[in-house]
Structure 1
Amino acid sequence: MYSFLSLQDTLGDELLAAVGRIGPIIVPEATAPEDFPSTSYYILAETPPKIDAVISWLNNGADRVILPLRSIKECIELIPKEKLILLLDSVTLSAITETIRSGVSGIMLQTTRANSEFLSPLKKFFSGLDIFVHSSAAEPPAPAAVRELCKNSATIVIPTSQLTLSASTETALSVGDAFLAPMDSDRPDGLFPTIVSSYNQGGKSLGLVYSSAESVRETIITGRGVYQSRGRGLWRKGETSGATQTVVSIRADCDQDALEISVIQHGSGFCHLGTASCFGELRGLAALEATLLSRKETAVPGSYTRRLFKEPELLAAKIREEAEELIEAKSREEVKFEAADLLYFALTYCIARDVGLADIERVLDEKAKKVTRRPGNAKSQFLTPLTSRIVSASKPSSGESPSSTRPSVDPSVPISMRSFVLNQLDSNQRIQLLRRPVLKSDEMIAKVKPIVDDVRHRGDAALIELTNKFDKAQLSSTIVRPPYAPDSMALPLDVKDAIDLAYRNIRLFHDAQATKVPMVVETMPGVVCSRFSRPIARVGLYVPGGTAILPSTALMLGIPAQVAGCKEIVLATPPRPDGSISPEVMYVAHLVGASAILTAGGAQAVAALAYGTETVPKVDKIFGPGNQWVTAAKMMVQNDTDALVSIDMPAGPSEVLVITDSTGNPRFIAADLLSQAEHGVDSQVVLIAVNITDEHLSAIKHEIDVQARALPRVDIIRESIAKSIIVSTNSLEQAIEFSNDYAPEHLILHLENAPDVVNKIDNAGSVFVGGFTPESCGDYASGTNHTLPTNGYARQFSGVNTQSFQKHITSQEISQAGLTALGPAVITLAECEGLSAHANAVRVRLEG
């Protein structure tokens, strides 16, 4: 029940927010918004609009439209009656037919005075309809007039210019006074019983409190939960506990003697006992949402829910599985059971992407407001019978290798690697063991080319559209520049300390790599040659994002760029659905002095860095790992002479090769192999066993199976380990030869005299020496860089280092005496090549 509606005729954000909490706002057609900052609004059209405009207003979120008689006649039967209000005056009142009366849900009468004298005949003719009264008087109505109309089942419409957040005056009526005017308390203390409900938990009741006129006024004005304690006076919820409330709406009940206040509860909960509600724990979907939110932050390692949050492939597969099981369910009990499972996995998917029940309900409410509907046809791939889809899904499509599908796996089968004995292999079999999966780079480049071209030609507009499409984030700008807001970098102390420790170690190691003084060599008397370094001026650092948080990659790329002295460091990373960047990455960007953060990922981010846009600086070199889309885009732009950009190195799936002898600890070896196997189903994992017993090898295999089953990403590991290999050799020399031919990204030496073996390693991205040097330390904090060549490119490429961000320039200075000694040889060589002008440049100097 509304005591009044406000007609927006002046702008004022605080006033509009206040009146929006207590009822719909009427917005004139001239200022009809697409996204009005109110929970509910009507649109008033005093002149007849086109029917398409009316439909557009409703589709864009208006609850109802108020139309003149001529427009109402056109809209009846085309637009639901509950969306239509008839605009009336004394002239048009006599022209109302039964068809019109039955085709609308309410009327708004425009009069010169707001009183109830005319309501009796009006209520009789428009029985069952909402009645709104809009007075054209220059002064606001008195609270008594508001009360009188409300008691007669009518709602008064007051222009916002006649409303105030302050005390009522002759020229302005307090919003609080207008809301309270029709209310009556039946309590001796004059307080109103108030139900506080949770807006973001499906309207769940949080508690029963009391409100006074004073607390209601403050609640309306501030948007914070304020109540009346019967013992302590005004009670501003959360003032001492921190469990504050954001008020969404305030409503009176049908008798105007009680209130419901809908809030978003912050902090520990509503109840003083620390629970969400005074009526006990949450139940149903609200309880599930609260549990999932908690598990997202503090899930126990190895728990099923943690696996779902950490493994998007598994979660997606479970949603598909449960959806099909629901479709196949026959009995009522089966339907309930399968629907519950589907809701659980679907809500987990939403929570993982920062979408809650309130967001979903808000979208449902918005969809309900629309008056036009989609046809509702299913996509063609879902029109085939369910059994046919299941059969076809089990078969590889044309041109697809059987290994690309994921058949069901018997969990009782051990998680094990394939074993080979090197001496028993011929040369072709040995070559096959050294091969990596074929990367179809041409196909991927063809897929990313439209994306790269779109960003290249349309700049920011394309970048924003693609970020919305692929990252589901709606942004007005994709660039963030320093100084970065402190709240965007807020971290738990232990995380901050860990990043700071990693930063110090990585900085120390990379600072030692920098070329700081020129190299100067006098090649002969009077001839001095030198070589000096300069930083690459503008670099782009790609940090993968999405569901993962990778501050380590930001450190590994940002620190050497900072040490090298790059003038412009642009860090690119995909945004979260709300458009923000993880605080861990934001903090690292601050530490390394990033000059800009590009909130975009994928091929579109690579294109923006390579070509530049209206806001994104063009860079000279792009660094960083990424998926196959990122890799293909990097390869494409480095071959485009218009881009004038280079890249760090080719990239492929993560790799580890472990060499062990009889001294290797099976638990340590298994853990190292699994640390790379969990990256993805295409991870490359190799174990070279040097003259070890069958019992020792069995112990390693047993540890792989046991440890893998305890890890959250076991489904991924099961696939990658099944493709991985154990190669048994008779000697350390054979093992090192195989490793150098393989050229792994990570090489771990579980050997008795591991330090002595390092000088025999020719090809590897990074070497981890001894049983207490896990690859994980190099990934995060020991100091070396984890951006390394994969796919065998360790034969030709180094990992990222400080000199990757520098270029080297040579110079020479020759004295007259030096040219006299050197010149004749230069003239001879130039004339030998037929380049007489070269020879002449020396000769004219020697001739004086």
Structure 2
Amino acid sequence: MATPSLIPLVDTTPSKDLLLSAARITPVLVPSSNLSNTVSTIPKSSSYYVLVADDESLDSAISYLNNGASAIFASVELADRCISAGVPSEKLYAVSSSTDIPEDVLKGIKGALIKISGVNSATQLPKPKVTLYLDESKIIPTEKTVASLHKSNAALAVPLSQLTNDATSSSKLNITNAFLAPITTDRPDGLFSTIVSSYLHGGKSLGLCYSSKESIEESVRTGRGVYQSRKHGLWRKGETSGAIQDVVKIDLDCDSDCLNFEVIQHGAGFCHLDTPTCFGQLSGLAALEETLVSRHRSAPEGSYTKRLFNDETLLRSKIMEEADELCAAKSQEDVAFEAADLIYFALTRCVSKGVNLADIGHALDKKAAKVSRRPGNAKPKYLEQAQAKITPAPAPSTTQQPQPTSFGNDLIRMRKTKLDGIAEEERLQLLRRPVLNSGAMIDRVRPIVEGVSTKGDKSLLDFIAKLDKADLKSPIARAPFEEPTIQQDVKEAIDIAYENVRKFHVGQAEKEPLVVETMPGIVCQRFARPISRVGLYVPGGTAILPSSALMLGVPAQVAGCKEIVLATPPKPDGSIAPEVLYVAKKVGASAILKAGGAQAVAALAYGTETVPKVDKIFGPGNQWVTAAKMFVSTDADAQVAIDMPAGPSEVLVIADKTANASYVASDLLSQAEHGVDSQVVLVTIDLSEKEIDDIEKEVEQQARKLPRVDITRISVSKSLIVSTSDVKSAFDFSNDYAPEHLILHIDSASEKVPMVENAGSVFVGQYSPESCGDYASGTNHTLPTNGFARQYSGVNTLSFQKHITSQELTKEGLDKLGPVVVKLAECEGLRAHANAVRVRLGMQSP
């Protein structure tokens, strides 16, 4: 920054407005006796100097720098002691009544504040030292004096009591006029070129405009961005658009012919094209911050950034992980790559706590201002960890096998561990999935669910407009549906998948009641009846999922459910994906609810004026859907059941030496692309490091050719390779993990299926990709995740039915069983139960 044209001296308790105006255009000089009141008033973005009292100690003077002052003004004697203590020259001014300052002091200071009576008689310090004058005669300075001094690298320290914001005052100097006294322009219209930059984005230029003395005076006084339009006069930024600016600082350039307005921009942006700048979009750290701030407000559910904001343990772990990887990086490219990762996670932490780049910059400036510094030694636990990692590796053996070629530090790689010999606690950690904070998510969906349950369609339509981004007149479409237009080959594929899924689910249906004669004359039965009304949640958004509609609709149809309500998010125009609509017609859906998320679950659970209430809700979804399903299933007022708890998609592949590395990699990736929280586990049986590396290379090469590689990169990096030495150990780990999908790439795979105890669905052999089960082989792809395969089955025909039992006793049968029932009922003290038998058998009461 150029030498200020004046330095306001806080000589009295000024008005807050005047002090803020002064802080916008120049650092203020504050006597130490008035420091706390002044610093608490001016913004943290503003610089200030401290005028140290003559009787203060060296430690006291240095403490002002350590606490944030940009510079200190001290007596010549104290300044000399500061120089000896190592105070940097750019942070030190001497205060004197003469320009005759000792040479050794003059060398160690930036400039001096000369107290004189009458500035016209002043002489200046040798250049390039800054000379500031404080006229003790209390004569109000003029703009001419300010301009004259500024030309020779000098300025006035003007008491705030002599300054004003009032443009018409005759007894005080207008603060804006004093600031602008040195400014020049070569423009015929007398306007000043003005650069507008973003305070929040490290001074990023937003655009170029023009200012006049009138516009600058209003900006200094009000703190709002005001400029001069060459066509329309005063331009109060955002007056009509709402994109206003808060002015943080106004600077003159080194030649005093250009201004820089540092602002906090609100609204759409600075440019009339609604972009952040007149030069296009933000980039680098500024763009990252904008994205994170936006995601913090409304991150898509299921996105990795949203998960980072919600899970402090995950974010803390990633910061430590990336810091460690940055320390391990060697080349320039790798260091830059790892630093970018660390900055991403660190800035995510900052945004989650309301800290922006400007706050970080202010903290850096404050640290830079400090003179006293800590030794900077690392804490013992970190020092020990670092020393352990820097121990030199043994020299490679001349007989060692060549190592696999490295792809660089941005490899798509899984974490590796060996199962043999690890502690039980570590083994348990390998089985854990990322923990969903169910309580917190239920609290978030509660207002949505309660809104729909109490206000019906009105609330439902509001949430559809807000969350599904579709403005609908009615949330429901009833059969018969319009004929959808879809490609013939897609239609034929759906038809084949439908037939296969239907055949398998028909085979699951109970054909006859179960009839058992438990004793002569006593016949017990169990028979199935369909759940009358079912709701099928089919995820939507950017993906089209007719497969989920098939997997839920077909068993509901086979089971004989009387009412099938399919819920799926609508497109912005309110329509439903034609492929999903086609499936809805095939499975005999009675209605389609055009809604997603918690609002769809609530409408199905409680019903509305137009949406029929259902008895059981099925289907996968994001954490909002899962939380809403859990909420309604425990609410007695809803009287609704759900299929199963849900979590991120997952696959576990067991592979031995017979496995095809390309096939194994493709199966891992087919599940990893679902989302950044998908879980992928490879369990190897007696594979060498090279054989494992061959699979990893295939993962890398195939992933880079796929459109969802960015999602895959994240999900794979959190996934796991577990090395085991034998088949039993591999299956023991798999059974403990209880995966949603289990794929067997092993010798005689079909013979090993009896070893499977816990899994959602098993894919046997190298020609059984998980994709077939997801779409068309016949099995259902709605499966238990997150380890719930230990307790739950996947969706099947029986999921859409309930079982009723009956019993029929003849008189002979009651004669034989009655005394047993009487004895047990009386043992429990339930005499009325016993009496119901006694009256039939003519037994006397005891």
* TM-score interval for Structure 1 and Structure 2 normalised by the shorter chain: 0.5 to 0.7
CA distance in 2, matches of 1:544, 1:470: 14
- Alpha-carbon displacement from aligned partner over 1:415-443 (angstroms, at most 9, x marks no partner): 11111110131100000000000110101
Q: Find 1:824's aligned residue among 783, 798, 819.
A: 819
CA distance in 2, matches of 1:719, 1:730: 28
- Alpha-carbon displacement from aligned partner over 1:70-127 (angstroms, at most 9, x marks no partner): xxxxxxxxxxxxxxxxxxxxxxxxxxxxxxxxxxxxxxxxxxxxxxxxxxxxxxxxxx
The structural deviation recorded for 1:390 is: 5.2
The structural deviation recorded for 1:759 is: 1.0
Q: Find 2:454's aligned residue among 431, 454, 457.
A: 457
CA contact (8 A) 2:745 2:766 kept: yes
Matched position secondary structure for 2:680? strand
Residue identity in the other structure for 2:528? S
Q: Find 2:558's aligned residue among 563, 568, 571.
A: 563
Residue identity in the other structure for 1:752? D
Matched, 1:767 2:755: no
CA contact (8 A) 1:516 1:533 kept: no
Instruction: Please name the residue that 1:482 is paired with.
Output: 479
Matched, 1:735 2:602: no
CA distance in 1, matches of 2:651, 2:310: 32
CA distance in 1, matches of 2:674, 2:603: 27
Instruction: Please name the residue that 1:750 is paired with.
Output: 745
Residue identity in the other structure for 1:550? L
Structure 1, unmatched stretches of 5+, are: 1-322, 333-371
Matched position secondary structure for 1:424? coil
The structural deviation recorded for 1:625 is: 0.4
Instruction: Please name the residue that 1:836 is paired with.
Output: 831
CA distance in 2, matches of 1:420, 1:670: 18
Instruction: Please name the residue that 1:345 is paired with.
Output: none
The structural deviation recorded for 1:404 is: 7.1
Q: How does 1:74-89 map to 2 (within 5 A)?
A: none
Q: How does 1:424-463 map to 2 (within 5 A)?
A: 424-463=421-460
The structural deviation recorded for 1:812 is: 0.1
Matched position secondary structure for 1:499? helix
The structural deviation recorded for 1:414 is: 1.7
The structural deviation recorded for 1:482 is: 1.3
Instruction: Please name the residue that 2:196 is paired with.
Output: none
The Cα RMSD (Å) is 2.9
CA contact (8 A) 2:566 2:591 kept: yes
The structural deviation recorded for 1:494 is: 0.3
CA distance in 2, matches of 1:331, 1:718: 41
Change in Cα spacing, 1:529 to 1:656, as seen in structure 2 (3 Å) is: same
Q: How does 1:634-649 map to 2 (within 5 A)?
A: 634-649=629-644
The structural deviation recorded for 1:514 is: 0.9
Q: Find 2:416's aligned residue among 412, 419, 434.
A: 419
Matched position secondary structure for 1:419? strand
CA distance in 1, matches of 2:412, 2:546: 31
Among all aligned residue pairs of Structure 1 and Structure 2, give the percentage whose two residues are the same amino acid: 61
Matched, 1:600 2:595: yes
Residue identity in the other structure for 1:612? G
Matched, 1:548 2:415: no
The structural deviation recorded for 1:380 is: 8.4
Change in Cα spacing, 1:445 to 1:693, as seen in structure 2 (3 Å) is: same
Residue identity in the other structure for 1:807? K
Change in Cα spacing, 1:771 to 1:820, as seen in structure 2 (3 Å) is: same
CA contact (8 A) 2:243 2:266 kept: no
CA distance in 2, matches of 1:462, 1:752: 57
Change in Cα spacing, 1:587 to 1:812, as seen in structure 2 (3 Å) is: same
TM-score of the two chains, using structure 1 as the length reference: 0.55
Instruction: Please name the residue that 1:612 is paired with.
Output: 607
Matched, 1:466 2:463: yes
Matched position secondary structure for 2:420? helix
The structural deviation recorded for 1:388 is: 7.1
CA distance in 1, matches of 2:408, 2:751: 42
Change in Cα spacing, 1:391 to 1:500, as seen in structure 2 (3 Å) is: closer
Instruction: Please name the residue that 1:165 is paired with.
Output: none
Matched position secondary structure for 2:564? strand
Instruction: Please name the residue that 2:584 is paired with.
Output: 589
The structural deviation recorded for 1:613 is: 0.2
Q: Find 2:788's aligned residue among 793, 806, 819.
A: 793
CA distance in 1, matches of 2:203, 2:792: 52
CA contact (8 A) 2:523 2:808 kept: yes
Residue identity in the other structure for 2:468? D
Q: Find 1:375's aligned residue among 223, 235, 242.
A: 242
Residue identity in the other structure for 1:708? A
- Alpha-carbon displacement from aligned partner over 1:222-265 (angstroms, at most 9, x marks no partner): xxxxxxxxxxxxxxxxxxxxxxxxxxxxxxxxxxxxxxxxxxxx
Residue identity in the other structure for 2:625? V
- Alpha-carbon displacement from aligned partner over 1:177-223 (angstroms, at most 9, x marks no partner): xxxxxxxxxxxxxxxxxxxxxxxxxxxxxxxxxxxxxxxxxxxxxxx
Change in Cα spacing, 1:765 to 1:465, as seen in structure 2 (3 Å) is: same
Q: How does 1:98-109 map to 2 (within 5 A)?
A: none
CA distance in 1, matches of 2:754, 2:736: 16
- Alpha-carbon displacement from aligned partner over 1:716-737 (angstroms, at most 9, x marks no partner): 1111111111111111000000
- Alpha-carbon displacement from aligned partner over 1:135-158 (angstroms, at most 9, x marks no partner): xxxxxxxxxxxxxxxxxxxxxxxx
Matched position secondary structure for 1:748? strand
CA contact (8 A) 1:787 1:800 kept: yes
The structural deviation recorded for 1:547 is: 1.0
Q: How does 1:57-96 map to 2 (within 5 A)?
A: none
Matched, 1:519 2:514: yes
Matched position secondary structure for 1:423? coil
Change in Cα spacing, 1:681 to 1:397, as seen in structure 2 (3 Å) is: closer
Instruction: Please name the residue that 2:192 is paired with.
Output: none
Matched, 1:491 2:486: yes
Residue identity in the other structure for 1:418? R
Q: How does 1:299-338 map to 2 (within 5 A)?
A: none
Determine which structure has more spread, i.e. the larger CA radius of gyration. 2
Change in Cα spacing, 1:812 to 1:452, as seen in structure 2 (3 Å) is: same
Q: Find 1:501's aligned residue among 496, 501, 509.
A: 496
- Alpha-carbon displacement from aligned partner over 1:8-58 (angstroms, at most 9, x marks no partner): xxxxxxxxxxxxxxxxxxxxxxxxxxxxxxxxxxxxxxxxxxxxxxxxxxx
Residue identity in the other structure for 2:776? A
The structural deviation recorded for 1:695 is: 2.2
CA distance in 1, matches of 2:453, 2:773: 36
CA distance in 1, matches of 2:432, 2:664: 23
CA distance in 2, matches of 1:492, 1:441: 41
CA contact (8 A) 2:686 2:725 kept: yes
CA distance in 2, matches of 1:632, 1:793: 16
Change in Cα spacing, 1:689 to 1:330, as seen in structure 2 (3 Å) is: farther
TM-score of the two chains, using structure 2 as the length reference: 0.55
Q: How does 1:166-181 map to 2 (within 5 A)?
A: none
CA distance in 1, matches of 2:772, 2:482: 30
- Alpha-carbon displacement from aligned partner over 1:316-375 (angstroms, at most 9, x marks no partner): xxxxxxx9999669999xxxxxxxxxxxxxxxxxxxxxxxxxxxxxxxxxxxxxxx9553
Change in Cα spacing, 1:397 to 1:440, as seen in structure 2 (3 Å) is: closer
Matched, 1:809 2:804: yes
Matched position secondary structure for 2:508? coil
CA distance in 1, matches of 2:204, 2:613: 51
The structural deviation recorded for 1:398 is: 9.9
Matched, 1:663 2:530: no
The structural deviation recorded for 1:843 is: 1.1
CA contact (8 A) 2:476 2:592 kept: yes
Residue identity in the other structure for 1:464? L
Instruction: Please name the residue that 2:530 is paired with.
Output: 535
Residue identity in the other structure for 2:589? A
Residue identity in the other structure for 2:629? K
CA distance in 2, matches of 1:586, 1:680: 25
CA contact (8 A) 1:509 1:783 kept: yes
CA contact (8 A) 2:201 2:286 kept: no
CA distance in 1, matches of 2:310, 2:659: 45
The structural deviation recorded for 1:693 is: 2.3
